[in-house]
Copies of this chain bind each other. A is one copy, B any other.
Amino acid sequence: MKEAEMEIAIALFDRVTALDAIGPYEVLSRLPRANVTFVAAQAGVQRTDTGRLGLTADAAFAELPHPGIVLIPGGGGTDELLDDGPILEWIRTAHETSAWTASVCTGSLVLGAAGILEGKRATSHWLALEQLHAFGAEPTAERVVFDGKIVTAAGVSAGIDMALRLAAEIAGERVAQAIQLGIEYDPQPPWDAGSPATAPAEVVQALRERSRFVLSG
């Protein structure tokens, strides 16, 4: 008997952060029998938060009500998703039957708004972490947080680390390591500046101040 495909639905919306979606896509699409579909309220092109790129959603949420993996990326556009709407309905329904429900960056706020983070440990972009309290979640300053079948990743690039761990849960370590080697994920960041705990204080402060405008909500 042929093993079933794993349907993976990655949500898109206006002003999504591209890497939040593409990091996990690049890992999870390489799983054996994975079938990734980008979905949105309606099928069609969604523009990213910089306005400089269009990503195509091939299906509407309604066409994939029960994916095995639900993945919600973040971005400036998540603010507008926090009121009840098609994406929150879709998340609630899909989460009832999903094997994994995942988010990257401020995508966890959308999971929270859908009501599925009550009492759960979860992470988000470091600048948005405290906003998780509003949804009854327990903000957890870790790069990847598993709580049952809910998996949340920290800001933007953390989706790659999350997806590799998820790949190992689904297909085993050897398969996940082959994916890591395939995307040559041997990171060599030029500085230890990717976390507020290690970045130069003036850099952290500058981003905190800018975020009062950018991340208000």
Contact = CB atoms under 8 A, between A and B. Distances in A.
- One complex includes copies of this chain to the number of 2
A190 B176 contact: yes
A191 B187 CA distance: 11
Contacts of A187: 157, 160-161, 185, 187, 189, 194
Taking residues whose C-beta sits less than 8 angstroms from the other chain, chain A's interface range is 35 or more
Interface string A177-190: 11011111111111
Interface string A141-159: 0011000000000111110
B178 A155 contact: no
A168 B18 CA distance: 22
Contact of A180 (B18, B176, B184, B199): B199
A97 interface: no
Contact of A53 (B38, B168, B195): B38
Contacts of A203: 174, 177-178, 181
A164 interface: yes
A194 B181 contact: yes
Contacts of A189: 160-161, 164, 180, 185-187
A45 interface: yes
Nearest to A182: B207
Contacts of A93: none
Nearest to A196: B181
Contact of A156 (B36, B126, B184): B184
Interface in A95-154: 105, 125-126, 143-144, 154
A204 interface: yes
Looking at A36, A58, A185, A207, the one whose CB has the most chain B CB atoms below 10 A away is A185
A206 interface: yes
B55 A29 contact: no
